[in-house]
Amino acid sequence: MPRIYNTIIIGAGAAGMMCAAHTGGQTLVIDHAKNPGEKIRISGGGRCNFTNIHTEASNFISQNPHFAKSALKSYTQHDFIAHVERHNIAYHEKTLGQLFCDNSAKQIIQLLQKDMQNADAHLQLETRITEISKTESGFQLTLEKHGKNEILTCRNVVVACGGKSIPKMGATGFGYQIAEQFGHTLTDIRPALVPLTFDGDILETAKTLAGVAIDAKVTTDKTSFNEALLFTHRGLSGPAILQISSYWREKQPIEVALLPSHDCLDLLRRERTRSGKRAIHKVLAEFLPKSIAAQIAKRTQLTGNLADQSDAKLQRLAAAINHWKLYPIGTEGYRTAEVTLGGVDTDGLLSKTMQSKSVPGLYFIGEVVDVTGWLGGYNFQWAWSSGYAAGTAIASDITTAPR
């Protein structure tokens, strides 16, 4: 006799565990990893940036910018914060509304595991799913664990297996395969929240400055982020670059402003009048890290003192500082991307419940869906909100008429 569950959740990550805690019981969560919540464990440098107090739908990228609104409203950042407080997990705001655990990301995993136990949801690890098929009343799944196969049946399947980012941590893209098997379309997927790579002179500059960080404004097309930028041996990283990577497309430039809060030309003219008998890099070093100032002076090939520079030359210098146009050659890819942009097309899903419009009982939650948050705790909030939406919908379905 096959084991029978009301709900089988594929993926014991943030979204899957959150969902399991709300399905109303008879739930099994399956994961091929050795431990649940591996991405939670490593997130936020081991402290998990578990939400953002400013979360709203505009912090998410999706072909349908309205899709996330319903789930985000039914389980908000304040709901998750209250939950964290109930579990006495100490936390702090780091910057820009980003909330981190004071101690360890493991506390968030423990919270979710406790919730699952309380909800009588079971966890089965190191298990692969080799087949899923639709039956009259639900689904049949074939599992494989340590070489042994088993068949399970259930009414609902929740796909919570995340995206393709960081394959070393168990990301497979399996969720996209299931979506296609059941006739769902996918939007284009690509690595996001990922460092950008360069070649030529820019790469040489980045290598020279590797390890130097600066608060900058980075723009592509009409989108800008004001956050830290970090030079690396491969190109550019840091929050401002990770954010812009979700919007950047091949062959497009990005524009970097290294002194975003200054009108640079105005500043340089004033400095020329105030004390122009100083070398350019020395003047720049008053406003920028010394190594960056030296690189800018080198890049513009302007020599001599500030007083020797015409307005046109100062304009060139100002542009090199605040309109630095760069052409990335690519990204570091899924190996280091924090998330996968795109996913299961939201056109095929009900926004209140995350249920498939065409296959009753099939749900998609978390990163596998075409809803991608900015850097700063938004992606976990999407995992909590979408997991809750699907879980509570399943729980309320238990008490209504059978399908």
| Contact set with ligand FDA (CB under 6 A) | 10-16, 30-33, 38-39, 42-44, 48-49, 128-129, 160-162, 165-166, 170-172, 174, 338-339, 366-367, 377-380, 383
Distance CA 152, CA 143 (A): 8
d(CA 180, CA 140): 17
Q: Are 365 and 19 in contact (CB under 8 A)?
A: yes
**What amino acid occupies position 329?**
I
Give the residue with the Cβ less far from ligand FDA, 7 or 205.
7
Residue 340 Cβ, how far from ligand FDA at the closest point, in Å? 9
302 phi, psi to nearest 5 deg:
-95, 130
Closer residue to ligand FDA, CB minimum distance, 140 or 315:
140
CB of 185 to ligand FDA, least distance (A): 19
Nearest to residue 309, comparing CAs of 357, 348, 349, 271? Answer: 271
Q: How far is the CB of 221 from ligand FDA (least distance, A)?
A: 24
d(CA 171, CA 159): 13
Smallest separation, CB 64 to ligand FDA (Å): 18
Element (H, E) at 291: helix 290-300
Cα 23-24-25 angle, rounded to 5 deg? 100
Q: Is residue 337 classed exposed, middle or buried when 0-12, 13-18 and 19+ CB atoms within 10 A define those classes?
A: buried
Q: Which residue is nearest to ligand FDA (CB)?
A: 13
Kindly state the smallest distance separating residue 351's Cβ from ligand FDA, in Å.
17
In whole angstroms, the minimum distance from the beta carbon of 302 to ligand FDA comes to 41
CA–CA dist 244, 223 (Å, integer): 8
Nearer to ligand FDA, 101 or 318 (CB): 101
Taking the least distance from each CB to ligand FDA, the nearer of 172 and 208 is 172
Q: Tell me whether residue 100 or residue 248 sits nearer to ligand FDA (CB atom).
A: 100
Choice between 345 and 367, CB closer to ligand FDA: 367
